[in-house]
Structure 1
Amino acid sequence: MRDLWNAFMPYPDADVGHAAIGPLSGLRLAVKDLFDVAGYPTAAGNAAVLAASGIKTSTAPLVQTLLDAGACFVGKTNTDELAYSLIGGNIHFGMPINPRDPHLIPGGSSSGSAVAVAAGFADIGLGTDTSGSIRLPAAVNGLIGWRPTHGSLDDRALRPLAPSFDVPGFVTRSLEPMAALMSAVGMPAVNDPPPSILVPEDIFATIDGAVADEMIASLRSAGMPVRRTNAIASVSLSDLALAFITILQREAWESNRTLFERSPEAIAPDIAARLLSGSRLDDEEVREAGSIRELFSAEIDALLRESVVVALPTLAMNPPRRDAEPESFAAFRSACIKLLCLSGLGGCPQLAFPIVNCAGNVSLSLFGARSADRMLMNVARQLTAE
């Protein structure tokens, strides 16, 4: 396989077996290089981590579950360094190329998994999502992206970034393989009545008005009950994003402190700066952020208890070009985190998918109660039915 898109890590091939028959038979699996796979190292997008890794002798349980369900492993994929970005760049292994628009970033940090699927090298891209690392590259590459309920999937033998937000996640080109994945990894089926869709006006007001109108028109055209609300929480999006980033930075520092102290020169300057920011946070800042998180989680639990699904734009703005200045990347990341942080703070599932009848790269997300992952799939099917 010639990887013209730089989706995969340049590792020698090793034999990774899979079941001959299963619900994922015939589907090719690309695995983000944060998960251990027997016969391969795990680099987490960092040369020093790669040098210290050695060849793994066992496979992460979640990856093994997919193999046992019949998925065929096709390689380990590129990632932003330490999974700590949303852009898709990597000074050690390069930025994957977005097959949908090679001039744009691929999004990250599950950049390689998304590009592998978008380029047709894989049917399932396994990645991780902490602050949007599945949903954002899915949106940028025109894919389906699923961030599962926090804690619902096995995360052993997965290198952490911020454990209280980290979840394994998936990208696919269409809803059907994603539905098969949800079943294969044991997400509970739902028989609830069709939920109403809630449109938060404060969130849709943050994006381009014409795009917001198209999204809402798309929701209404499916014939499902749609209602508006001023906001889904008493805390502003800016304050929620600040609380999220505070907790993320503290946990990212704790996860990578040993690497930073041993090999600071082996970490890209922008990633190192974020790690240092986490090291400098005082405990009171982190406690205050935790209190905001608890408040939001309680409010969102109460809201979603009533068979409601929240509709959100996946991205806050159009993705920048891959050759943009660092300031453009920072502005894009900051704007998008205000929307992407909500699932992390609430521990809730989110499903992102393209709106095909909208102009441009438009991705809509459904955000639901914990363990309502399959309900989001059912709603997405109704919304995208011809």
Structure 2
Amino acid sequence: MQDRWNAFMPYPDVDVGNASTGPLSGLRLAVKDLFDVAGYPTAAGNAAVLAASGIRAATAPLVQALLDAGACFVGKTNTDELAYSLIGGNVHFGMPRNPRDPDLIPGGSSSGSAVAVAAGLADIGLGTDTSGSIRLPAAINGLIGWRPTHGSLDNRALRALAPSFDVPGFMTRSLEPMDAVMSAVGMPAANDRPISILIPADIFETIDGAIADEMIASIRSAVMPIRKIDSISSFSLADLAVAFITILQKEAWESNKTLFEQAPEAIAPDIAARLLSGSRLEDWEVREARAIAKLFSGEIDRLLGENVVVALPTLAMSAPTRDAEPESFAAFRSACVKLLCLSGLSGCTQLAFPITDCAGNISLSLLGARSTDRMLVYVARQIRAE
């Protein structure tokens, strides 16, 4: 397969069997190089991890479930180093190229899976989402991106970053295959109760006004009750982001402490710096952050208790160019985490999708209560009129 987008890891091809028939028959599957696949190493975007990996003897159960449903494996994909970035770069294996706009970053950390799907090299991109690593590259590449309810999918044989937030997730070019994937991995069908959409004013006020207006107009096109609210939480977005980053950095350090201590020179400086920040956190800081997460999760449970979904912008600002300065990447990451952290802190499901018939590349998201994943596809269909 020609891969001028640098979506895939440069591994020799190995035959990975799949069922000849099934609900995903005919769909090509690209797998982020955090999941074990028999016959392949697992590098997690790091050369030292690759060198120590060896060839895996067994396939991650989630990947196997997709193969058993008929999906055809086409390769393991590039990822940001240790899945610890939202940009899409990698000093060891290079940055995949965004097929929609080669001047822009592809987004990460599921960069290769997003690019493979956007370039038409795969139909299903399997990735992971901790702080937005499915939703952000999906938005930048014009894809559907699904962050499942936390804990709902099998995460064995998947390299961890921050277990409190890590989830496997998927990207597709349209809603139909996404719904098929959800069904194949065991997500319950949507119920037929009336659904209402909340539009939180404080969140939409943080983005460009013209883009916010297009999003809200698109939401209003759905034949569903819509209600504006001031806010979804008693906490500010900034305070929620600080709590999220505190927990993320602490757990990322714990997940990668051994690698850092054994081969610090094998980790890119920006990734190493974030790991070190996690190592320096005090226990009281982490306890306080977890307390905020618990309170916020309770607020969201009460808000979404009556078949309600919340509409959100997927991204806080436009993606930077791939040759931007590190300060631009840091500003983009910081701004986007304020929106992307909401589903991580609450454990709720989120679906990102591009708005059709609008100027530019605009991605809207729906945040739903735990286990309402397929309901989000139904609502997205009404908004997109698919």
Q: Secondary structure at the match of 1:364?
A: strand
Corresponding residue of 1:267: 267
Deviation for aligned residue 1:73? 0.1
Deviation for aligned residue 1:191? 1.7
Q: Partners of 1:190 and 1:109 in 2: how far apart?
A: 29
Corresponding residue of 2:374: 374
Corresponding residue of 1:237: 237
Corresponding residue of 1:303: 303
Q: Partners of 1:219 and 1:385 in 2: how far apart?
A: 11
Deviation for aligned residue 1:222? 1.6
Q: Note the aligned Cα RMSD (angstroms).
A: 0.6
Question: For residue 51 of structure 2, what is the amino acid of its counterpart?
Answer: A
Question: For residue 185 of structure 2, what is the amino acid of its counterpart?
Answer: V
Q: Partners of 1:10 and 1:113 in 2: how far apart?
A: 14
Within 5 Å, which residues of 2 pair with 1:81-160? 81-160=81-160
Question: For residue 382 of structure 1, what is the amino acid of its counterpart?
Answer: Q
Q: Secondary structure at the match of 1:306?
A: coil
Deviation for aligned residue 1:23? 0.2
Q: Partners of 1:163 and 1:3 in 2: how far apart?
A: 32
Structure 1 segments of 4+ aligned residues over 3 angstroms from their partners: none
CA shift digits 1:254-283 (9 cap, x unpaired): 000000000000000000000000000000
CA shift digits 1:20-41 (9 cap, x unpaired): 0000000000000000000000
Within 5 Å, which residues of 2 pair with 1:1-386? 1-385=1-385
Q: Structure 2 length as normaliser, TM-score?
A: 0.99
Q: Partners of 2:382 and 2:199 in 1: how far apart?
A: 17
Q: Partners of 1:243 and 1:159 in 2: how far apart?
A: 23
- Asked whether the equivalents of residues 215 and 358 of structure 1 are also in contact (C-alpha less than 8 Å), the reply is no
Q: Partners of 1:241 and 1:263 in 2: how far apart?
A: 30
Question: For residue 237 of structure 1, what is the amino acid of its counterpart?
Answer: L
Any unmatched runs of 5+ in structure 1?
A: none
Deviation for aligned residue 1:84? 0.1
Q: Secondary structure at the match of 1:378?
A: helix
Q: Partners of 1:176 and 1:157 in 2: how far apart?
A: 28
Q: Secondary structure at the match of 1:75?
A: strand
- Asked whether the equivalents of residues 151 and 167 of structure 1 are also in contact (C-alpha less than 8 Å), the reply is yes
Percent identity of paired positions between Structure 1 and Structure 2: 83
Q: Secondary structure at the match of 2:198?
A: strand
CA shift digits 1:154-206 (9 cap, x unpaired): 00000000001000000000000000000000001122313110000000000
Q: Secondary structure at the match of 1:59?
A: coil
Question: For residue 303 of structure 1, what is the amino acid of its counterpart?
Answer: L
- Asked whether the equivalents of residues 88 and 110 of structure 1 are also in contact (C-alpha less than 8 Å), the reply is yes
Q: Partners of 2:188 and 2:176 in 1: how far apart?
A: 17
Q: Structure 1 length as normaliser, TM-score?
A: 0.99
Q: Partners of 1:217 and 1:111 in 2: how far apart?
A: 30
Q: Partners of 2:189 and 2:99 in 1: how far apart?
A: 34
Q: Partners of 1:247 and 1:315 in 2: how far apart?
A: 21
Q: Partners of 1:228 and 1:282 in 2: how far apart?
A: 39
Deviation for aligned residue 1:223? 2.2
Q: How many residues are matched?
A: 386
Q: Partners of 2:67 and 2:378 in 1: how far apart?
A: 25
Q: Secondary structure at the match of 2:96?
A: coil
Deviation for aligned residue 1:237? 0.2
Question: For residue 174 of structure 2, what is the amino acid of its counterpart?
Answer: S
